[in-house]
Structure 1
Amino acid sequence: MGRQPAEAGEEVRRRKAEAGEQGGRYLSCKQQEAAPTSLRAALKNYQHALSLTLAIHEINKNPKLLPNITLGFDIRDNLFDSIFTYEAILDVLFKQQQTTSQNSLLFVPNYKCGRGNDVISVIGGHTTEYTMQMTIILSLYRIPQLTYNAHEAMFSDKRTFSSSYILAPRETLQHVGIVLLLLHFRWTWIGLVVADDDDGESFLRNLTPLLAQNSICVALLRKIQVQKEIGYVHDSEDIQILQSELLLIKSNVIVVNGNFKSVFSLLYVLDQFEFFLEISIGKVWITTTKWDFTTAVSTGGFCAKMFHGALSFSVHTNVVPGFKEFIQNVNYDEPLMHFLCWFWYFAFNCVPLCLMHVAEPHKQKCTGEEKMESLASSQFEMNMNDESYSIYNAVYAIAHALHSSHLSSERRPVARRHIKHTDIQPWQLNYFLENIRFNNGAGHEVIFANGELQTEYDIINWVTFPNRSFLRVQVGTMSPHQEFTIREDAVVWNSRFKQVPNSTCVESCHLGHSRIIQEGQPVCCYDCRPCSNDMISNQTDAVHCAKCPEDQYPNENQDQCIPKEISFLTYQEPLGILLVSLAISLALMTGLVMQTFLKNWETPIVKANNRNLTCILLTSILLCYFSSLLFIGKPGKVTCLLRQATFGTIFSIAVSCVLAKTILVILAFMATKPGNRMRKWLGQNLASSIVLCCSLIQVSICTAWLSTSPPFPDVDLHSQKGLIILECNEGSATMFYCVLGYMGFLALISFTVAFLARKLPDTFNEAKFITFSMLVFCSVWVSFIPGYLSTKGKNIVVVEVFAILASNTGLLACIFLPKCYIMLLRADLNSGKFLGHNRSNKNIV
């Protein structure tokens, strides 16, 4: 990534020769020109140096930022080697002393000689491994180190790494983003491929718990051995296992963590499938910020087709408007751009002037007319990528920290203002870098908080083309506050998929079903069962069915809650109209009977049936018919209070009248015996006393009921599916059955007495008719109890109203219709001679 000395070129050729002698296999892409050896620095990474250079030029031209100060830079390349990393750092910090007999460099720490400019900060660390190697040395001197690698938990220890600054969001945010991405597309059966190193272990340690918490299962977990020599892979048992696993795995989604070097074996296997065995794996690859697959395409010779439709996370990048113009006008012959010599050499396959002393004689010379925009995007991108943008921001962060340090020194007392700008030590910048906020050269705001860059991750969709070019399409973001967004319609999938890929262990449970975990299987492998009658599931793969709110109920498919209908017996519905019409008709019939009795008020049959009791009984029957109307219509507070108590009291009066008539019949015939003293009990006082006493008992029961636990309007949400039943809650069921029980008690006494007196001789004897009326009454109410208990909703009201009308009609028909028949059709029988031999009885019954 920088200026390469002749020794470095010799090292490249030496390692290439050694690898060839070891029998390694060089990978190539069919139908494409073979890429250069992977030991050459990736061409696309030269953009890092250009972005740094652009930032330096912009800062030096800015009169408001670091006036009268010129920033310089020194670019080093570690050639993917730890030894070169350490040597580069030592060479930057300390003066080279001598060259040993073995032509190796010797460094003396803490010794500087002939160094005009000191290093104030270091930007680098393409991988975690290299970052740590740099940190080991730089942290001793507290020299600010800005790394564009993903955030690692180890760098959070500010005591040890007080001068390390990460130009990326926390890596844990990326883990959460991966999980949210999987959940968004309902991918619960995935594969994991990671490098078998500390970075891979850290990735698994942080991601695996998140996957388990969200019921995402790992169908394949493969740790790949890091290749020592990139580009040369030996077939091994691990490679064979990986090949078979990729063929057999049913998951369509595989998450990959690692850089180009650490997952090179995966590329090798995919290359074998795609281009040698002609087997299309066709997976959705999800990669982290550590690995950009375009490096594999540009450096390893692989085709981009394998990763068409892949999704990756990258640090948020804004467009830098002047970057394209800058790289279009760059000249590799400028001393400042000497590091571009090797780029020109590999990218354009020609020898630039600056490398004439090390190039092969037969190699074609560069013309100087080569243009970077003519290169494929896999070799070089004209737009600044995420790593280059981080480096661009790192330069501005150092410049603004240095600027703030100068301003701070100028505000000090006059006695200390003689300190020169160059006297500022690197460790002094840490105070300003810890929390800094500025706008970079493109006008974008950059914020550091506690040494960490406050930015988001972009979700990139990779679209590849046959000519090894590609297109980055931003389809989503993951904010620092864990706000996940994605434009699903903008995602381009692998050509194997016609729509959004499915990646589950089993077929998803449909709406209206929930999951059942299979014993001994991962949570992602489950069975489906329908929801119970009162529950729904409105999403696929529901963990549990949910109950609807009380005012709603499940639809037929049990995937949606529907508002319940309000139900009560109304006057407008057919059944309500029928009952109202029947009650009014019977009430009119009762009125006709009363009119008939009034017209025949002085006739013997009316006199013989105790006219006062008859009037009270007919009035009670009439009121009972009207009381049934209280049960129809929307239940209210007044109607609920009145309906049972009113009917119970009125009907008790009616039954009391029947009981009084029955007793009087018996007493009347007993009084006809000579010497019997029962005659003195006959008369209106006895009848009134019976009616009054029996009625007062019922009134007392109703009063106690209404005083202690009165009926009230209530809502029944559960009796009938889909209905909210408006009803009257009886308050106290005990008092309700006491009212009914007392009426039944009176009716039973009346029935018993009338049954015993049914054979008493007399033309107008009512005992037989009372017996039939009480039999009808008891039959109706005995049938009412099971009907009342078994019906639900408004049908309960229908049963009650029907019982009232039926029992009331039984009294009216059995007691009064025979008499009306005589009065209206057989007037000849309505005479005194039919009263029997004892005429004295005519007015006492």
Structure 2
Amino acid sequence: MLILVTSLLIILVTTDVHLEPRATCSIGKVYFSTSFQAGDLIVGSFVQLCSFYEDNFHTSQYLHEIKCYGTSFSFLRQYLALIYAVEEINKSSQILPNITLGYQIFDSCGCEFKAMSGLLDIMSGEQQTIPNYDCWKNNKLVGFLGDLTTSTTQSVAQFLAVFRYPQISYGSMDPVFHDRVQFPSFYRTIPNEEAEIDGIVQILKHFGWKWVGLIISDDDTGYRARERISTELAMMGGCLVFLFAIDYGTHTHSTMLKGETMFKEIEKTTVNVIIVFINPKYIYESIAILLYSRIPERICITSSLFTDFITFPHNLKQNVIFNRALSLLIQEGEIPDFHTFLKSFALSNYPQSKLTEYIWQDVFDCIFPSWTENKPTSDRICTGNESIIDEVSMLGNYRVTYRVYTAVYALAHALHNLYSAQPPANHWDKLEYMRNLKPWQVG
């Protein structure tokens, strides 16, 4: 295990990382933006605050430099929902009374390298990556939340399975996580994608649509959809008229060419129904290609994750309109008093959170005078008093935000059940018991 972890450390570096000079055989410390709140019990958390990333591999140093782009108010709201849920639980006398939850949050930006770097940091504690050592002192790491995309979620889950730490994802719908041997302590607050594919098939059957086109992401998610939909269409006496698979990381010129090709192919057909089923990781490539393709008026059917991601960052064009579109939606719930929390949110209450400062600068296009890492290009000075309520509340899709909120509560209730199962004792005895829990007891 030590050999595995050490080899991972060689390549996991982000744009805001600093490696201290080190001796040949020592392990360097890795620092990057994080949000930490102390507590008796610590929840390691991965949120996606950026839509896409650029991976620059430096062959001379064998390092990956990850640059993340595309922060949005939707991502900010999801991040704040996690913080709000923890604070709400700590104020409650009904869940873990007299025991505080803390957190350490990292932005994965959908990048496996960055997620694994954050994971090793969380497991070591004290923002030091020391394989097989726990430096949490008086804080107890009890579980993990996240991530949004399947690739980062799976990378983290495969590592955590060795230690049996519970992990609750709020975004990955991949059916691979049904394997309880490979992922014994994995849970999620979102249905599996096969249910969505079946839902799309039911729509096709209901309207009698037998001849359809399919646009998918060039990965397992897309090809599972192709297999299931094409099989069902064949049973209905229909078929896929055309299929387009979208690559990840498509450059602008390639995007234009692929969009033009798609437009010409669709224009040749009389098919009226186009299904768009993509991995969220491919959302921007998909939108760009759909824009360039100038797809003629057709009925579009999309998955719920497409709808979750359709809200763009404020600095990108928001003119993507799907006329005559049908989309599956995952249940949305109400988060009590969350609007009040957003209205009164003050950055000054979180002075140690570099991650909050980072996303704040990006969404408000400003810079804090004290910020020295990965400086934004804006000349505007951040005050920390910028109002988020109008910007955040106007984005009506709270579905992902609600899943983040329920993921925090799911883990908290699991911990509370263990807490309540103990015989009556004084507070210190119960706290000591919770601090000595084994990961498998929670999951």
TM-score normalised by the shorter chain: which range applies?
Answer: 0.7 to 0.9
Which residue is 2:38 aligned to?
Answer: none
Q: 1:401 to 1:294 in 2, by over 3 A?
A: closer
TM-aligned CA deviation for residue 152 of structure 1 = 2.8
8 A Cα contact 2:304 2:330, kept in partner = yes
Which residue is 2:11 aligned to?
Answer: none
Asked if 1:170 corresponds to 2:206, the answer is no
Which residue is 1:310 aligned to?
Answer: 325
Which residue is 1:248 aligned to?
Answer: 268
Q: Residues 9-408 of structure 1 correspond to what in structure 2 (within 5 A)? A: 39-95=69-125, 107-113=129-135, 115-227=137-249, 232=252, 234=254, 238-274=258-294, 281-292=296-307, 294-295=309-310, 297-298=312-313, 301-335=316-350, 338-352=354-368, 355=371, 359=375, 363-375=379-391, 381=394, 383=396, 385-408=398-421
Which residue is 1:594 aligned to?
Answer: none
Q: Give runs of ≥4 in structure 1 deviating > 6 Å.
A: 15-19
Which residue is 2:433 aligned to?
Answer: 420
Q: 1:387 to 1:120 in 2, by over 3 A?
A: same
Percent identity for Structure 1 against Structure 2: 25
- In 2, Cα distance between the equivalents of 1:362 and 1:129? 32
Which residue is 2:46 aligned to?
Answer: none
1:569-620: CA deviation from partner (whole Å, max 9, x where unpaired) = xxxxxxxxxxxxxxxxxxxxxxxxxxxxxxxxxxxxxxxxxxxxxxxxxxxx
1:450-497: CA deviation from partner (whole Å, max 9, x where unpaired) = xxxxxxxxxxxxxxxxxxxxxxxxxxxxxxxxxxxxxxxxxxxxxxxx
1:3-28: CA deviation from partner (whole Å, max 9, x where unpaired) = 9956669xx9xx87979xxxxxxxxx
- In 2, Cα distance between the equivalents of 1:117 and 1:111? 14
TM-score normalised to structure 2 length: 0.76
8 A Cα contact 1:144 1:429, kept in partner = yes
TM-aligned CA deviation for residue 365 of structure 1 = 1.0
- In 2, Cα distance between the equivalents of 1:429 and 1:17? 36
3-state DSSP of counterpart to 1:113 = coil
Which range is displaced more, 185-194 or 241-250?
241-250
3-state DSSP of counterpart to 2:93 = coil
- In 1, Cα distance between the equivalents of 2:188 and 2:115? 19
Which residue is 2:24 aligned to?
Answer: none
TM-aligned CA deviation for residue 306 of structure 1 = 2.8
- In 1, Cα distance between the equivalents of 2:315 and 2:54? 14
- In 2, Cα distance between the equivalents of 1:425 and 1:121? 10
TM-aligned CA deviation for residue 162 of structure 1 = 1.2
Q: 1:313 to 1:150 in 2, by over 3 A?
A: farther
- In 2, Cα distance between the equivalents of 1:411 and 1:369? 46
8 A Cα contact 2:123 2:141, kept in partner = yes
Q: Which amino acid aligns with 2:303?
A: T
8 A Cα contact 1:345 1:351, kept in partner = yes
Q: 1:311 to 1:97 in 2, by over 3 A?
A: closer
Q: 1:314 to 1:418 in 2, by over 3 A?
A: closer
- In 2, Cα distance between the equivalents of 1:282 and 1:373? 36
Q: How many residue pairs are counted as aligned between the two chains? A: 386
Q: 1:76 to 1:210 in 2, by over 3 A?
A: same
Q: Which amino acid aligns with 1:424?
A: L
3-state DSSP of counterpart to 1:324 = helix
Q: 1:425 to 1:398 in 2, by over 3 A?
A: same
3-state DSSP of counterpart to 2:135 = coil
8 A Cα contact 2:346 2:385, kept in partner = no
- In 1, Cα distance between the equivalents of 2:226 and 2:89? 41
3-state DSSP of counterpart to 1:180 = helix
Q: Residues 443-842 of structure 1 correspond to what in structure 2 (within 5 A)? A: none
- In 1, Cα distance between the equivalents of 2:88 and 2:415? 15
Q: 1:16 to 1:113 in 2, by over 3 A?
A: closer
TM-aligned CA deviation for residue 237 of structure 1 = 6.2
- In 2, Cα distance between the equivalents of 1:67 and 1:293? 35
TM-aligned CA deviation for residue 332 of structure 1 = 1.9
Q: Which has the higher contact order (CA 8 A, sep 6+)?
A: 2
1:283-325: CA deviation from partner (whole Å, max 9, x where unpaired) = 3322213323654632782434432443222321112241111
Q: Which amino acid aligns with 2:110?
A: F
1:241-300: CA deviation from partner (whole Å, max 9, x where unpaired) = 3232233332232111123432544322332255xxxxx633332221332365463278
TM-aligned CA deviation for residue 239 of structure 1 = 4.8
Q: Which amino acid aligns with 2:361?
A: Y
- In 1, Cα distance between the equivalents of 2:369 and 2:434? 38
8 A Cα contact 1:287 1:313, kept in partner = yes
Q: Which runs of 5+ in 2 are unaligned?
A: 1-13, 19-31, 34-49, 58-66
Which residue is 1:429 aligned to?
Answer: 442
Q: Root-mean-square deviation (CA), in Å?
A: 3.4
Q: Which amino acid aligns with 1:120?
A: V
Q: Which amino acid aligns with 1:52?
A: L
TM-aligned CA deviation for residue 368 of structure 1 = 4.3
**Over alpha carbons, which structure has the higher Rg?**
1
- In 1, Cα distance between the equivalents of 2:208 and 2:314? 35
- In 2, Cα distance between the equivalents of 1:46 and 1:211? 40
TM-aligned CA deviation for residue 351 of structure 1 = 1.9
TM-score normalised to structure 1 length: 0.42
8 A Cα contact 1:131 1:147, kept in partner = yes
- In 1, Cα distance between the equivalents of 2:250 and 2:123? 28
8 A Cα contact 1:147 1:167, kept in partner = yes
- In 2, Cα distance between the equivalents of 1:195 and 1:228? 12
Q: Which runs of 5+ in 1 are unaligned?
A: 20-36, 99-106, 275-279, 431-845
8 A Cα contact 1:124 1:147, kept in partner = yes
- In 1, Cα distance between the equivalents of 2:177 and 2:104? 25
1:799-841: CA deviation from partner (whole Å, max 9, x where unpaired) = xxxxxxxxxxxxxxxxxxxxxxxxxxxxxxxxxxxxxxxxxxx
Which residue is 1:584 aligned to?
Answer: none
More strand by share: 2
- In 2, Cα distance between the equivalents of 1:120 and 1:39? 31
8 A Cα contact 1:252 1:284, kept in partner = yes
Q: Which amino acid aligns with 2:359?
A: F
- In 1, Cα distance between the equivalents of 2:424 and 2:103? 28
3-state DSSP of counterpart to 1:139 = helix
TM-aligned CA deviation for residue 149 of structure 1 = 2.5
TM-aligned CA deviation for residue 83 of structure 1 = 0.8
Q: Which amino acid aligns with 1:169?
A: P
Q: 1:209 to 1:150 in 2, by over 3 A?
A: farther
8 A Cα contact 2:161 2:185, kept in partner = yes
3-state DSSP of counterpart to 1:187 = coil
More helix by share: 1
TM-aligned CA deviation for residue 142 of structure 1 = 0.6
